[in-house]
Amino acid sequence: MPRAVRERQMLDAAVRTFGQRGYRAASMDEIADLAGVSKPLVYLYLNSKEDLFTACIRREAQALTAAVREGVRPRLPADRQLWEGLRAFFSHTAQNPDGWAILHLQARTHGEPFAAEVSAMREEIVAFVTRLIAVAARDARRDPSLPEHEVAGLAEALVGAAESLAAWANAATGVSARQAAATMMNFAWAGLGDLMEGRSWSEQR
Amino acid sequence: MPRAVRERQMLDAAVRTFGQRGYRAASMDEIADLAGVSKPLVYLYLNSKEDLFTACIRREAQALTAAVREGVRPRLPADRQLWEGLRAFFSHTAQNPDGWAILHLQARTHGEPFAAEVSAMREEIVAFVTRLIAVAARDARRDPSLPEHEVAGLAEALVGAAESLAAWANAATGVSARQAAATMMNFAWAGLGDLMEGRSWSEQR
Amino acid sequence: MPRAVRERQMLDAAVRTFGQRGYRAASMDEIADLAGVSKPLVYLYLNSKEDLFTACIRREAQALTAAVREGVRPRLPADRQLWEGLRAFFSHTAQNPDGWAILHLQARTHGEPFAAEVSAMREEIVAFVTRLIAVAARDARRDPSLPEHEVAGLAEALVGAAESLAAWANAATGVSARQAAATMMNFAWAGLGDLMEGRSWSEQR
Amino acid sequence: MPRAVRERQMLDAAVRTFGQRGYRAASMDEIADLAGVSKPLVYLYLNSKEDLFTACIRREAQALTAAVREGVRPRLPADRQLWEGLRAFFSHTAQNPDGWAILHLQARTHGEPFAAEVSAMREEIVAFVTRLIAVAARDARRDPSLPEHEVAGLAEALVGAAESLAAWANAATGVSARQAAATMMNFAWAGLGDLMEGRSWSEQR
DNA sequence: TATGAATGAGCATTCATTCAT
DNA sequence: CATGAATGAATGCTCATTCAT
């Protein structure tokens, strides 16, 4: 069996195990078993538990950013791009709960080698959102009087809100990716103040 | 030395160790050392690692909710209450990074006995926010045409955004609790859309 | 509360705990709790776990030998003395299962300081039986052509059989001390060979 | 080194350690040391201390019953079968003092999982003796007017006597298996009463 | 007389990791 | 390419025992 395939099996098993048990509670024995190979082979291919976990994080991070990137049509107005990105995000996390658990919970919880890995991805997403906000500001013919720093904070908050909603939507049965995205747009774009006045964000214009 | 004092020392040491190392990686030996007592005493007073961690979660959760509750003056308009709550929240988390790490990261990452504990606290905060939104809607003389479910999602998103900003503010040096709270208000109350048009939320009116 | 009474309470608790849990599994904590006193007091009165266990063994051994001694009228013929001794033995062990467990199981299982203690008692009983056999032989006007050594073996076997029956009678519901003693007499006095021929031992002559 | 061999070594070491120290006092460290392997290997092969002890009991129980079974020629008269069985029994226990200590003392002293294991073996032996008694009764052309229950008691007493003699013979130097068996036959078959009259059981008729 | 507070030492168990084949 | 065999190092937890009061 070619190496690439074996490696994929191992990563699949590892993602599942790490996602469900957590980094420390997952044992290499269980992962090897689930992958259907012997433990030494896992070490031969992936060196150590740490490296294996890092590989999981990287793969899942790339899968997530790719899904979001592919979900967004870059020519649309900023709010529409955000809308599409959010839909892709909620959709992907709902379909890959173990991967999402690794990125959102495990990697950040278990210290330096891993937190850095996931931060890279997060920054990519934050940068994407930051760019959207800048574009929107330009389209509104406004000088970016919002300072850099403030924009970064807004993006951070937006991403955090989305992450939180992802967990909520996954847990609360019956909340679709679309609904979660709609809630996010209302919250982030329209703002609570506007919502109070009866103005909510809407996909149609 | 009286029991109550010793117990406090142990909890302090445990919060610090759990917060920095994580639940699994923290060893009872290290906690006992840091508390300046022998391991058996930790077991005598706090029964088990699980119970000790639960006690940490409970203490930190109560400290956090108490801080927020005390920071809010209940007669003010909803947005002002939110503003004050956020300031208290960011302030408390900045001053108790280990406690916040336990609540935000560790407890949620390590499965059922603990996740439930922190969920209770989180629900209390979400309920507080939900109530604020409802009050704001009433004050704006709007029928609560925002459905229950949508409000829950908004509150969830708001809390998630705040949690995310807390981590960000703690990490990025030089962001004060006040600044973080302002960013949150802009984000949550004014909304990105308004911000684009130059309307941001402001403490003065 | 006078020392003697306290000490009795402790020994009672210890016998029960050792009898039910075993020497190693019984904890000084549990014994102190059951006795209703603090642990240091147990140490003050009885020095150590080892000494405490030894004290239990001694007390129960004396109680058992006393019960047997008091049950036997020394002027009767040998077989009647044996009969009475067996009844007293089965009766006492049935009423003190924990004490009997200590003597029969725990003390012999846990090595030297204790095994010696119970051996002393056992030898006393074996000596009693040996004497009975010798008396019976004299009464039958037979030279003791049974060698010393053989007699010791017989006595040992008899005591072993009785001990075994005690456990069996205690476990099998509905076997009285009297029945157990009768079985023993049939077995030991009449012998299987005689039983086969229809001759069994009988209390009435 | 192949697994089966290693496993035997471990069981040998365990039987010796459990037999001499007792179940609780024996440490897995000591057993592993004595077996010449590391502790994790013991766990890998035998799961837990409890399982290891159970495996010891089972192995020794089977060895003992096999030795007795093989020592008995089934066509002989009942008393001769008993004689042969006893010789095999005393011989085996004398040669395996640690195994015998496990079966006779340790297993019965340490509660349910183990006591049940050894009870099974004991019942097999008691059943064998019971059958012998029944056969002897038939051969003597006697109705089995000995009630079931009485026979069970007799068998129990006989086995107990033998167990007791085994310990005695092992301790008292210079008592051979043959002598112990002879004493048992005199005791059990002839009965003390007969012995008093000068009639003892004899191998020759 | 009696106890609350405290600990040194040990034990069963697990796990990431490595050889020799 | 793949594995059966093996281990050093921790870790959670318990227990007999002792002071200071």
pLDDT, tens digit, for every residue of D126-179?
888 888 877 777 766 555 556 677 777 888 888 889 998 898 888 766 788 888
Select, from the ranges A38-42, B108-112, B178-182, D188-192, the one with the highest average predicted confidence (pLDDT). Answer: A38-42
D65 and D31 belong to one structural domain: no
Return the residue of C nearest to D129 by Cα: C192
Given an 8 Å threshold on Cβ–Cβ distance, is A154 in contact with B105? no
Whether A15 is covered by a domain: the verdict is no
d(CA B151, CA A196): 11
D81 and D169 belong to one structural domain: yes
Return the residue of C nearest to D139 by Cα: C196
Q: Least CB-CB distance to D154: which of C22, C142, C192?
A: C192
> Which residues in chain B have Cβ-Cβ distances shorter than 8 Å to A113?
none
Smallest CA–C1' separation from A40: which nucleotide?
Answer: F3
Which residue minimizes Cα–C1' distance to F7?
Answer: D38
Q: Is the pLDDT of residue D185 over 90?
A: no
Average pLDDT across chain B, whole number: 85
Select, from the ranges A135-149, A161-175, B155-169, the one with the highest average predicted confidence (pLDDT). Answer: B155-169
pLDDT, tens digit, for every residue of B10-19?
999 999 999 9
Q: Is the pLDDT of residue A7 over 80?
A: yes
Range of the domain at D189: 52-196
d(CA A29, CA A42): 10
pLDDT at C205: 42
Given an 8 Å threshold on Cβ–Cβ distance, is A187 in contact with B108? no
Structural domain total, chain B: 1
Strand E proximal to A50 Cβ, under 7 A? yes
Which of A81, A109, A118, A185 to mutate against chain B (most B CBs within 10 Å)? A109
Given an 8 Å threshold on Cβ–Cβ distance, is C25 in contact with D22? no
The answer to which of A52-61, A106-115, C176-185, D182-191 has the lowest mean pLDDT is: D182-191
CA of A52 vs C1' of E18, distance in Å?
Answer: 17
Given an 8 Å threshold on Cβ–Cβ distance, is B136 in contact with A192? yes
CA dist list (Å): A93 to A56, A102, B178: 15, 11, 33
| Section B134-154 average pLDDT | 68
d(CA C163, CA C90): 9
Which of C105, C109, C200 to mutate against chain D (most D CBs within 10 Å)? C109
d(CA C85, CA B22): 68
d(CA D158, CA D184): 8
Mind telling me how many Å the CA of D45 is from chain C's nearest CA? 26
Contact A56, A114 (CB under 8 A): no
Chain E: positions less than 7 Å from a protein CB are 1-20
Return the residue of C nearest to D107 by Cα: C109
Mind telling me how many Å the CA of B35 is from chain A's nearest CA? 23
Whether A55 is covered by a domain: the verdict is no
pLDDT at D195: 61
Confidence of residue D4 (pLDDT cuts 50, 70, 90): confident
pLDDT at A4: 80
Sign of the Cα torsion C183, C187, C189, C194 reads positive
Whether D201 is covered by a domain: the verdict is no
> Which residues in chain B have Cβ-Cβ distances shorter than 8 Å to A129?
none
Q: Is the pLDDT of residue A144 over 60?
A: no
CA dist list (Å): B12 to B68, C94, C118, D121: 21, 55, 52, 56
Q: Is the pLDDT of residue A196 over 60?
A: no
Residue type (1 letter), A146: L
D64 and D93 belong to one structural domain: yes
**B7 compared with C111, residue with greater pLDDT:** B7
Given an 8 Å threshold on Cβ–Cβ distance, is B160 in contact with A160? yes
d(CA C83, CA C179): 11
Q: Is the pLDDT of residue A141 over 60?
A: no
Strand E proximal to D123 Cβ, under 7 A? no
Q: Is the pLDDT of residue C42 over 90?
A: yes
Whether A140 is covered by a domain: the verdict is yes
Q: Least CB-CB distance to C109: which of D109, D161, D165?
A: D109
Alpha carbon of residue B149 to chain centroid: 23
User: How many residues in chain C?
Assistant: 205
> Which residues in chain A have Cβ-Cβ distances shorter than 8 Å to B136?
192, 196
Q: Least CB-CB distance to C192: which of D163, D175, D188?
A: D188
Whether C29 is covered by a domain: the verdict is no
Q: Is the pLDDT of residue C51 over 90?
A: yes
Which residues of A spanning 90-149 put their CB closer than 7 angstroms to strand E? none
Smallest CA–C1' separation from C28: which nucleotide?
Answer: F16
CA dist list (Å): C202 to A127, B27, B98, C199: 103, 71, 83, 9
> Which residues in chain C have Cβ-Cβ distances shorter than 8 Å to D185?
none
Q: Determine phi and psi for C25, rounding to 5 degrees.
A: -75, -20
Return the residue of B nearest to A24 by Cα: B24
CA of A32 vs C1' of F3, distance in Å?
Answer: 12
D35 and D59 belong to one structural domain: no
For B24, the token pair is 């699994």
D177 and D157 belong to one structural domain: yes
D7 and D26 belong to one structural domain: yes
CA of B49 vs C1' of E7, distance in Å?
Answer: 19
pLDDT at B18: 95
Confidence of residue D14 (pLDDT cuts 50, 70, 90): very high
Whether C139 is covered by a domain: the verdict is yes
Mind telling me how many Å the CA of A13 is from chain B's nearest CA? 19
Given an 8 Å threshold on Cβ–Cβ distance, is B192 in contact with A154? yes
pLDDT, tens digit, for every residue of A150-189?
777 777 888 888 888 888 887 766 788 888 888 888 777 7
pLDDT at A26: 93
Buried b (16+ CB within 10 A) or exposed e, A141-162: eeeeebeeebbbbbbbbbbbbb
pLDDT at C58: 94
Confidence of residue C144 (pLDDT cuts 50, 70, 90): low
Chain F: positions less than 7 Å from a protein CB are 1-20
d(CA C130, CA A185): 99
| Section A104-109 average pLDDT | 90
D107 and D30 belong to one structural domain: no
> Which residues in chain B have Cβ-Cβ distances shorter than 8 Å to A186?
150, 154
Whether B162 is covered by a domain: the verdict is yes
pLDDT at D205: 44
Confidence of residue B27 (pLDDT cuts 50, 70, 90): very high
Alpha carbon of residue C48 to chain centroid: 25
D75 and D170 belong to one structural domain: yes
Given an 8 Å threshold on Cβ–Cβ distance, is A165 in contact with B160? yes
Smallest CA–C1' separation from D5: which nucleotide?
Answer: F5
Could you tell me what percent of chain A has a pLDDT over 70? 86
Which of A102, A142, A149, A187 to mutate against chain B (most B CBs within 10 Å)? A187
Given an 8 Å threshold on Cβ–Cβ distance, is B164 in contact with A161? yes
pLDDT at B205: 43
CATH number, residue D122: 1.10.357.10
Given an 8 Å threshold on Cβ–Cβ distance, is D192 in contact with C108? no
CA of C143 vs C1' of E8, distance in Å?
Answer: 64
CATH number, residue D29: 1.10.10.60
d(CA D125, CA D114): 17
D114 and D139 belong to one structural domain: yes
Which of D129, D170, D196, D199 to mutate against chain C (most C CBs within 10 Å)? D196
Strand E proximal to A29 Cβ, under 7 A? yes
Q: Give SS3 for B205.
A: coil
Nearest to C195 by CA among D205, D189, D77, D198: D189
State the DSSP code for C102: I
d(CA A108, CA A115): 5
pLDDT at B192: 58
Mind telling me how many Å the CA of C80 is from chain D's nearest CA? 12
Given an 8 Å threshold on Cβ–Cβ distance, is A196 in contact with B140? yes
Q: Which residues lie closer than 8 Å to C182 by C-beta, 6 or more apart?
A: C203
Confidence of residue C31 (pLDDT cuts 50, 70, 90): very high
What is the SS3 assignment for chain A?
Answer: CCHHHHHHHHHHHHHHHHHHHCCCCCCHHHHHHHHCCCHHHHHHHHCCHHHHHHHHHHHHHHHHHHHHHHHCCCCCCHHHHHHHHHHHHHHHHHHCHHHHHHHHHHHHHCCHHHHHHHHHHHHHHHHHHHHHHHHHHHHCCCCCCCCHHHHHHHHHHHHHHHHHHHHHHHHCCCCCHHHHHHHHHHHHHHHHHHHHCCCCCCCCC
Which of B109, B197, B202 to mutate against chain A (most A CBs within 10 Å)? B109
Nearest to B98 by CA among B155, B40, B31, B150: B31
> Which residues in chain B have Cβ-Cβ distances shorter than 8 Å to A160?
160-165, 167-168
Which chains border C (3 or more CB–CB pairs < 8 Å)? D
Which residue minimizes Cα–C1' distance to E3?
Answer: C38
Buried b (16+ CB within 10 A) or exposed e, B127-149: ebbbebbbebbeeeeeeeebeee
Residue type (1 letter), B36: G
Q: Is the pLDDT of residue D73 over 70?
A: yes
Whether C61 is covered by a domain: the verdict is yes
The answer to which of A128-137, B169-178, C81-90, D141-150 has the lowest mean pLDDT is: D141-150
pLDDT, tens digit, for every residue of A76-100?
887 788 888 988 998 998 899 999 9
Q: Is the pLDDT of residue A113 over 90?
A: no
State the DSSP code for C105: I
D85 and D160 belong to one structural domain: yes
